[in-house]
């Protein structure tokens, strides 16, 4: 398969590329890659599909942890723009331009318990899970659409000086993306463990 991979330069994206590359052609994309696209600029996503592809995987963009109290309405919208609205914009385009046998795999996240500053992140993650579940009903004949929703990743915890064993190794997370791309699941949210 030819697979467009958004977020290819990030921690998760690099591991997903390593998991997919032995069996597939991976097209790496990020804002800074030679093939560039910005989830905050939906029009920049159109050209990604011009040369044909079988699948798209998105593990790009983050929602920062920050308390709601200090945010303006404009800042709230900004925080929703890339990961939530950008992935919806990507999925909408992919649904129209990938073959029926193809797939769309997006990224959410899992907070095992509410932590300060996580309200917008939780909104985005839970919103994406609902979006994927219902979008699958709009795509009964494909392409398939799924969400990977990791908790903390070990390598990220270690980079923060914390105990990586509390998280999931990025290679385990990446293998979930590979299994969703190669499998037949449709409309699922998968939490890597």
Ligand X SMILES: NC(=O)c1ccc[n+]([C@@H]2O[C@H](COP(=O)([O-])OP(=O)(O)OC[C@H]3O[C@@H](n4cnc5c(N)ncnc54)[C@H](OP(=O)(O)O)[C@@H]3O)[C@@H](O)[C@H]2O)c1
Distance CA 13, CA 84 (A): 18
Least distance to ligand X, CB of residue 48, Å: 11
Q: Does 156 bind ligand X (CB under 6 A)?
A: yes
Q: Does 30 bind ligand X (CB under 6 A)?
A: yes
Q: Does 122 bind ligand X (CB under 6 A)?
A: no
Q: Does 10 bind ligand X (CB under 6 A)?
A: yes
CB 52 within 8 A of CB 100: no
Q: Does 192 bind ligand X (CB under 6 A)?
A: no
Residue with tokens 């996240």: 109
CB 30 within 8 A of CB 74: no
144 HSE (CA, 13 A, CB side): 19
Q: Does 6 bind ligand X (CB under 6 A)?
A: yes
- Beta-strand ranges (E) seen in 30-86 are 55-58
Part in contact with ligand X (CB under 6 A); list of ranges 56-64, 130-138, 175-183, 184-192 = 56-64
Q: Does 12 bind ligand X (CB under 6 A)?
A: yes
DSSP secondary structure letters along 81-95: IIIIIIHHHHHHHHH
Q: Does 107 bind ligand X (CB under 6 A)?
A: yes
Distance CA 154, CA 48 (A): 31
By beta carbon distance, the residue nearest ligand X is 10
For ligand X, the closer of residues 19 and 82 by Cβ is: 82
Radius of gyration of the chain (CA): 16
CA of 138: how far to CAs of 84, 134, 187, in Å? 19, 7, 10
Part in contact with ligand X (CB under 6 A); list of ranges 6-14, 70-78, 93-101, 112-120 = 6-14
Q: Does 38 bind ligand X (CB under 6 A)?
A: yes
For ligand X, the closer of residues 75 and 142 by Cβ is: 75
Q: Where do contacts with ligand X occur on this chain (CB under 6 A)?
A: 6-13, 30-32, 37-40, 59-62, 82-83, 107, 109, 150, 152-153, 156
């Amino acid at each position: 398969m030819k697979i467009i991979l958004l977020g290819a330069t990030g921690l998760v994206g690099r591991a997903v590329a390593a998991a997919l590359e032995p069996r597939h052609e991976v097209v790496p994309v990020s804002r800074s890659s030679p093939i560039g696209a910005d989830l905050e600029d939906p029009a920049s996503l159109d050209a990604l599909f011009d040369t044909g592809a079988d699948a798209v995987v998105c593990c790009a963009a983050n929602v920062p942890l920050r308390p709601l109290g200090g945010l303006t309405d404009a800042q709230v919208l900004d925080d929703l723009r890339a990961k939530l609205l950008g992935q919806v914009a990507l999925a909408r385009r992919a649904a129209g331009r990938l073959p029926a046998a193809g797939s769309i795999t997006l990224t959410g996240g899992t907070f095992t318990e509410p932590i300060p500053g996580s309200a917008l992140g939780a909104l985005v993650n839970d919103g994406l899970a609902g979006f994927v579940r219902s979008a699958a009903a709009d795509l009964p004949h494909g392409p398939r659409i799924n969400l990977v929703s990791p908790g903390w990743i070990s390598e990220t915890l270690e980079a923060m000086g914390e105990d990586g064993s509390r998280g999931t190794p990025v290679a385990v997370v990446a293998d979930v993306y590979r299994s969703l791309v190669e499998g037949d699941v449709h409309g699922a949210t998968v939490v890597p463990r």
